Structure 1
Amino acid sequence: MGLFDQLKKSILGKGSEEPAPMAQPQALDRRTRSRANPRPGTLALIVDDSPTIVAALSRILQSAGFTTLEAQDAESAIEIAREQVPNIIFLDIVLPGMNGFAALRAIRRDVVLREIPVIMISGNEQATEQFFGTRIGADDFMKKPFSRLEVFARVERLLNAQGIPCRIGPGAESDPAERAAG
């Protein structure tokens, strides 16, 4: 019994009975929560100069059925994207050489790549990065460090009815429902 509890008991004549703990709402176990998965073999390009980030994100995406491609700079990422045409791109903002914003502009100008959804990644939480990324065509923004749950939530937002990542909102040529029908 602590000093405060002893004083309270001697002065007020009350014990230090602890209140019964309040029942905590049961959080839905992440393993049992239903989630929309991409169709098997969906191709994701991960662009980050940190091998740790690339490995972690690759492992997370592969656990959901993605096939992953990796690039450590924007120039090679654009080259890989043109050759393999991924279904989704995870693009870091701070990269050696061309930064992520310049890479995103190049992707949005490219006829082959412009409709690929892009999730920007940054260790900086500045709203200006999010705003600027969205203005030039990012489909979402993810802050490092990220959790599996956040990665899956970002991907789920972009999936159409067939489990294919699609662009949504301004800048997308059509909405996911139209692409699902087509």
Structure 2
Amino acid sequence: MEAEKTLLDHLLLHPQGASISDIAIASGHTRATVAKYLERMKAQGKVEYRDVGKSKLWTSSQSHKKILVAEDDAPIRRLISVILGKENYGIIEAADGEEALEKVSEEMPDLILLDVMMPKMNGYEVCDRLKKNALTRKIPIIMLTAKREMTDKVHGVKAGADDYMTKPFEPAELRVRVKAFLDKEVKERHPITNLPRIPYALPLLQKGHGEMYLLSLQNLDQYKRLYGHAKTNEAVRLIAQIIVHCAERISAKGVVVHDEGNNFLLSLQKDSAEAAIKEIQEEFDSTLLFLYEKHYESLDLKRKLVFVGEESARQEKYLLLDLSVRKLQKEDVATMAALTRALQGGR
């Protein structure tokens, strides 16, 4: 129906979520009409929501690429949103460098359009920070500038920028550049954590001379039933950050990759591997209370359960998230490499 399409189009342009009031204003429908359609679309699996205080933020369940537009000039942000919005991308906006870093942490975009001259933190510094972080270094960054000097391009390259566009730019050129990067990156990175996927990191892992570990995130389906899709993705990102930060802090040459089954494959230096794994497990355990903040009083950490419901007779119980750890042998890695080659058709 046309009304449903209008609502979905609005949500696709606001991947961070929109309230019923925002959707009503944008679509021209009453709040009651919007609420009715959203509830029906939720039952069909087309939309979902998360609670924020006393209100709900609705998001689309459809998969779409998210693009962060970090630009202090509001008319240019709007222009880029219009140009790329026609391609069904979800547009996230930031007006300064600090906000850009916050949006990347919250949303994990698939691509960033980053203005050079911004308040609070310039684009070069933002780019440099993102490229030094294992969770964000693979996000393609296209720098935007009003300058044409070669020195600006050199600065961008040194900071780690993947491409450069001079303002004003042609809409068609912007669309082509963005599509080229998104088509290239989509298979190489995990869509939630932005970590390399196992098939694309195995050659790097096999060259390492350290120890290999497989960390598996357990009971994620039960967490999703309890908190929904969006919050589950947030939990996975947070756990990935714990793993990466501990691995990099303790094992300088550590490598972390992520597969579709929510397993993390780690290559760690031999002399620091045990310490890194121990810290990851301790950090994970201490984070559980935060992940279950709405039900922390109902947690049973010994039995690894959370109880939901007011009356004990009617309470539901869910298994808590858990992180299992297994040390891999060389033959395990060889088997994984052979399986990967088979899945890729022998390439």
TM-score band by shorter chain is 0.5 to 0.7
Q: Which 10-residue stretch deviates more, 138-147 or 149-158?
A: 149-158
Select which of 163, 167, 175 maps to 1:140.
Answer: 163
Gaps of 5+ in 2: 1-61, 190-194, 202-343
Corresponding residue of 2:144 = 121
Q: 1:76 to 1:104 in 2, by over 3 A?
A: same
Q: 1:130 to 1:81 in 2, by over 3 A?
A: same
Counterpart amino acid of 2:105?
R
Counterpart amino acid of 1:124?
K
Tell me if structure 2 keeps the 8 A contact 1:119–1:138. yes
Select which of 178, 181, 192 maps to 1:158.
Answer: 181
Counterpart amino acid of 2:71?
D
Shift of 1:136: 1.9
Shift of 1:165: 8.8
- Is 1:52 the counterpart of 2:70? The answer is no
- Is 1:41 the counterpart of 2:41? The answer is no
Counterpart amino acid of 2:147?
N
- Is 1:112 the counterpart of 2:135? The answer is yes
Counterpart amino acid of 2:186?
I
Shift of 1:146: 1.1
Corresponding residue of 2:102 = 79
What whole-Å deviation, never above 9, does each CA across 1:117-151 have from its counterpart, x for those lacking one?
00000001111111221122101101111111110
CA distance in 2, matches of 1:95, 1:152: 23
Q: Name which one, 1 or 2, has greater alpha-carbon Rg.
A: 1
Give the secondary structure class of the aligned counterpart of 1:107. Answer: helix
Tell me if structure 2 keeps the 8 A contact 1:40–1:66. no
CA distance in 2, matches of 1:101, 1:141: 12
Identity of aligned residues (%): 31
CA distance in 2, matches of 1:113, 1:160: 18
Corresponding residue of 2:92 = 69
Give the secondary structure class of the aligned counterpart of 2:183. Answer: coil
RMSD of aligned residue pairs (Cα, Å): 2.6
CA distance in 1, matches of 2:183, 2:171: 20
Give the secondary structure class of the aligned counterpart of 1:159. Answer: helix
Higher relative contact order (CA 8 A, sep 6+): 1
Q: 1:165 to 1:146 in 2, by over 3 A?
A: farther
Give the secondary structure class of the aligned counterpart of 2:91. Answer: strand
Shift of 1:157: 2.8
CA distance in 2, matches of 1:156, 1:165: 14
CA distance in 2, matches of 1:123, 1:105: 20
Shift of 1:160: 2.9
Q: 1:58 to 1:166 in 2, by over 3 A?
A: farther
Counterpart amino acid of 2:163?
D
TM-score by length of 1: 0.66
Select which of 73, 89, 108 maps to 2:112.
Answer: 89
Shift of 1:159: 3.1
Tell me if structure 1 keeps the 8 A contact 2:97–2:121. yes
CA distance in 2, matches of 1:178, 1:155: 22
CA distance in 2, matches of 1:160, 1:54: 23
Q: 1:77 to 1:121 in 2, by over 3 A?
A: same
CA distance in 2, matches of 1:70, 1:110: 21
Tell me if structure 2 keeps the 8 A contact 1:45–1:71. yes
TM-score by length of 2: 0.36
CA distance in 2, matches of 1:65, 1:40: 10
Give the secondary structure class of the aligned counterpart of 1:114. Answer: coil
